[in-house]
Amino acid sequence: MVHCCFYAYLVLSNKRVFHMQLDSEILEAIFTNKANDLNTLTQRSRVLLIFLRHFGCPFCREALDDLSAVKAQLKKQGIKLVFVHLAEEMYADVYLAEHGLADEEHISDPDMSLYEYFGLQKGGFRELYGLKVWSRVVHAIHQPTVNQHTGNWRQMPGLFLLHQGRVVNSFVHRSAADRPDYLAFCKIQPSPHTALPS
């Protein structure tokens, strides 16, 4: 859970954080499920901070499968995965394990304070129901469904590459159906043996 002093900061500041140094006190107040603070993690290695939509979203499940497929290459390059989600930690433990990501750290942010701090907004009609969404949802919907949204269904996802407390790259989804190339985002050449799930 995000520490209370982090909430206080949100009230006092509306700074954008894309490609900028983040407040170390803020990062020190954000803990993963393994009790590691985000500032320490970004000092040790590059961190790919992945903001998910609700776990009932087919594109969220697709993203987890994509990340599972390339996590070995990311780790080989010293990049640590950290997920941010809207669910309770216990539910996220089970859900990530189902996608081969049981060992990855995650942050529960049910009131979306961390989403807000990183500038991730709620989606409107175009982002959630636009042509791109409908053209891809048939492909993504083959994934098994879950019984609940476990979060705000309007919340948009995003990616941030952090290093030494600084945002060094960001990807903010313009559509819920956007499918980032995670290796390209982290500037890693794909292995010839790597293929995204079809």
Query: How confident is the model over 166-198, as pLDDT tens digits?
Result: 999 998 878 778 889 999 999 865 555 444 444
CATH of the structural domain 4-185, one choice from 2.40.50.140, 3.30.1330.80, 3.30.1340.30, 3.40.30.10: 3.40.30.10
155-193 as b/e, with b when 16 or more CB fall inside 10 Å? bbbbbbbbbebebebbbbbebbbbebebbebbebeeeee
C-alpha closest to that of 109 among 145, 167, 71, 150 = 150
- List, for residues 62-78, the tens digit of each pLDDT value: 899 999 999 999 999 99
Q: What was the pLDDT predicted at 98?
A: 93
Quick check: helix, strand or coil at residue 103? coil
Determine the average pLDDT of the residues in 113-119: 89
Amino acid at 120: L
Task: Over range 141-162, report the average pLDDT.
Answer: 67
- What are the residue boundaries of the structural domains of the chain, listed by start? 4-185
pLDDT for residue 78:
95
Find, among 36, 57, 55, the residue nearest to 98 by Cα: 55
Asked if residues 107 and 33 have their Cβ atoms less than 8 Å apart, the reply is yes
Q: How far apart are CA 121 and CA 82, in angstroms?
A: 20
How far, in Å, are 57, 60, 62, 98, 188 from residue 95 at the CA level? Answer: 12, 11, 13, 5, 27
- Encode pLDDT of 92-109 as tens digits: 999 899 999 999 999 999
> Of all helices (H) and strands (E), which one includes residue 160?
strand 158-163
| Contact assessment for residue 4 and residue 110, using Cβ atoms and an 8 Å cutoff | no
- In terms of pLDDT, which residue wins out, 54 or 132? 54
Give 107's strand partners: 84
